Amino acid sequence: MAESKNRMTEGPIGQKIIRFAMPLFLGNLFQQLYNTADSLIVGNLLGSNALAAVSSCGSLIFLLISFFNGLGAGAGVAIGRYYGARDRENLQDAVHTTMAFGIFAGLVLTAAGTLLAPQILVWMDTPPEVLPRSVTYIRIYFAGSLSLVMFNVCMGVMQAVGDSRHPLQYLILSSVLNVILDIVLIAVFRFGVGAAAFATILSQFVSVILCLGRLLRVEEEYRVSLRKIRFHGRMLRLIIRYGLPSGVQNSIIALANVVVQSNINAFGEMAMAGCGAYTKVEGFAFLPITSFTMALTTFVSQNLGAEEFERTRRGARFGILCSVVIAETIGLVIYTAAPVLITAFTDEPAAIAFGVDKARICALFYGLLAFTHCIAAVLRGAGRAVVPMVAMLAFWCVVRVGFLTVMVPIFQTIAVVNWVYPLTWSLSSVALGIYYWRADWLHGFTKKEA
């Protein structure tokens, strides 16, 4: 039987959530270093054109990966649920179905990414002077899709059962390796933007080996056996039920963000570089919130699996409050320090101006973004992923794209593009908040599914 220290169903609520979230935060911090190292080294050594090439690929990469990551989140809910319920048989089926899904998803992404990504970059109106480097970066990146997906799958299994410490160790090692490879390949050998993508893929491949090795050796009920990796029909259907809404949500929101990126691209290379630099800053700023949302999903799924309903409610409230306070504090810091932070990624005055303008429009509304993500995480952990999917599709996709389609031609300023984020964060916060307080989300799992 698994060690009780990994279970979120026992012990002080706040302490359990924070102790689980802290390694997640540090792990996310080092994972963020993958892309940030690319941007810092590329921007400072290869110039703003190369930085724009890497930045323009971010929303496209998220578009192609996010669907499978959403399904993977469904797998984590199923694993956490059966782990909390101490149901070994269903837990084993969930773990091995998840591993099989990861292999399948990685192969599909390799084919789809390398074949479709270059054409999508063209549809995004990527400037001709940036396009060749963007295509090089994206093709190399997706050639290693199997390592990207399997790393997230293995890490997700460990996190679903309450182990956030080992993923942290593997992320630290692979992040350091990524930075070293970036410096050697770009600064020393001058191989160009493709080397940054290659460094990321190779580093994550090392993480996969370490994560899988841990899962093959661990003496717990979630141990992986290579010969058992296959699809279990009933468990696959359950994982799809939990994860498909998140996958669809992620993909359509990512598609909307591609539309946003296209609007940014229309303002030129400096706008792309500056907004891309701000995106890196925002990525770091929101790591504590991402960590709390991941911890909340695990906490809710395990405790509802154990039918600890009041404990689940109290844990959700604690996580939401902490996230909103931390997010708003970070937003104030970024608003004040934006010029210094953006300058770390580019020394072009025009690019810095674009990045600072976006930071000072978005940063003060981080509390709303944190609230939305936390409510969505709680509902996903409760098996109610359809609700945040509908809310986010309505506001982060339909409203976001509609607003830009109407307003950008009228005002012809990038400020319109920047303001679409606080607007849609506000709307989704109101909608999800109403559902959270009025609906019976605590009974998302039923005994008939067990």
Q: Tens digits of per-residue pLDDT, 73-106?
A: 778 888 988 998 889 999 999 999 999 988 998 8
Provide the pLDDT for residue 63. 67
Confidence of residue 112 (pLDDT cuts 50, 70, 90): confident
C-alpha dihedral sign at 383, 389, 391, 392? positive
Over residues 42-51, mean pLDDT: 79
Instruction: Please give the Cα distance from 25 to 378 (Å, whole number).
Output: 18
pLDDT band (50, 70, 90) for residue 220: confident
What is the model's pLDDT at position 445? Answer: 67
Stretch 183-206: mean pLDDT:
87
d(CA 293, CA 323): 8
Q: What is the mean pLDDT of residues 237-253?
A: 81
Report CA 155 to chain centroid distance, whole Å: 13
Residue 173 in contact with residue 210, Cβ under 8 Å?
A: yes
Q: Rounded to a whole number, what is the distance in angstroms from the first to the last CA of the chain?
A: 19
pLDDT at 190 over 90: no
pLDDT, one tens digit per residue, over 396-420 is 989 998 999 899 888 888 999 999 9
> Is the pLDDT score of 70 beyond 80?
no
DSSP 8-class letter at 231: -
- Give me the mean pLDDT over the 240-257 stretch: 79
Q: Between 349-362 and 414-438, two packed helices, what is the crossing angle to 10 degrees? A: 30
- Residue-averaged pLDDT of the chain: 86
Q: If you compute the radius of gyration of the chain from its CA atoms, what whole number of angstroms results? A: 21
Average pLDDT value for residue range 36-42: 72
Q: Are 99 and 153 in contact (CB under 8 A)?
A: yes
What's the token pair of residue 215?
């899962």
At residue 117, does pLDDT exceed 90?
A: no
Report residue 1's pLDDT band, with 50, 70 and 90 as the boundaries. Answer: very low
**Choice between 422 and 27, residue whose per-residue pLDDT is larger:** 422
Residues 6 or more apart whose Cβ sits within 8 Å of residue 133: 49, 50, 53, 54, 192, 193
Distance CA 272, CA 279 (A): 10
Q: From CA 64, how far away is CA 43, in angstroms rounded?
A: 24
Q: Which of 82-86, 108-112, 125-129 comes out lowest in average pLDDT?
A: 125-129
The backbone torsions φ and ψ at residue 144, rounded to the nearest 5 degrees and listed phi first, read -105, 30
| 420 within 8 A of 281, measured Cβ to Cβ | no
Q: How many helices (H) and strands (E) does the chain have?
A: 17, 0
- pLDDT given for residue 76 in this prediction: 85
Strand, helix or coil for residue 237 = helix
Q: Supply the pLDDT for residue 447.
A: 46
Q: Supply the pLDDT for residue 450.
A: 42
Say yes or no to pLDDT of 444 above 70: no
Q: Is 61's pLDDT higher than 80?
A: no
Q: Looking at beta carbons, which pairs linking 253-257 to residues 24 or more positions away fall under 8 Å?
A: 253/66, 253/392, 253/393, 253/396, 253/397, 254/59, 254/62, 254/63, 254/66, 255/63, 255/397, 256/396, 256/397, 256/400, 256/401, 257/59, 257/62, 257/63
Residue type for position 249: Q
Per-residue confidence (pLDDT) for residue 224, from 0 to 100: 94
- What is the mean pLDDT of the segment spanning 378-392? 90
Q: Which of 369, 312, 313, 365 is nearest to 334 (CA)?
A: 365
The predicted pLDDT at position 3 comes to 47
Each residue's pLDDT tens digit, 331-381: 999 999 999 999 988 888 899 999 999 999 999 999 999 999 999 999 989
pLDDT at 59: 66
Burial class (CB in 10 A: 0-12, 13-18, 19+), 420: buried
> Is pLDDT above 60 for 389?
yes
Sequence-separated (6 or more) residues with CB below 8 Å from residue 110: 142, 143, 144, 145, 146
Percent of the chain with pLDDT over 90: 32
Token pair recorded at residue 147: 């390592």
Give start and end residues of each alpha helix (H) in 286-397. Answer: 287-305, 309-343, 349-362, 366-381, 386-392
Write down the pLDDT at residue 365: 95
Average confidence (pLDDT) over 173-187 = 87
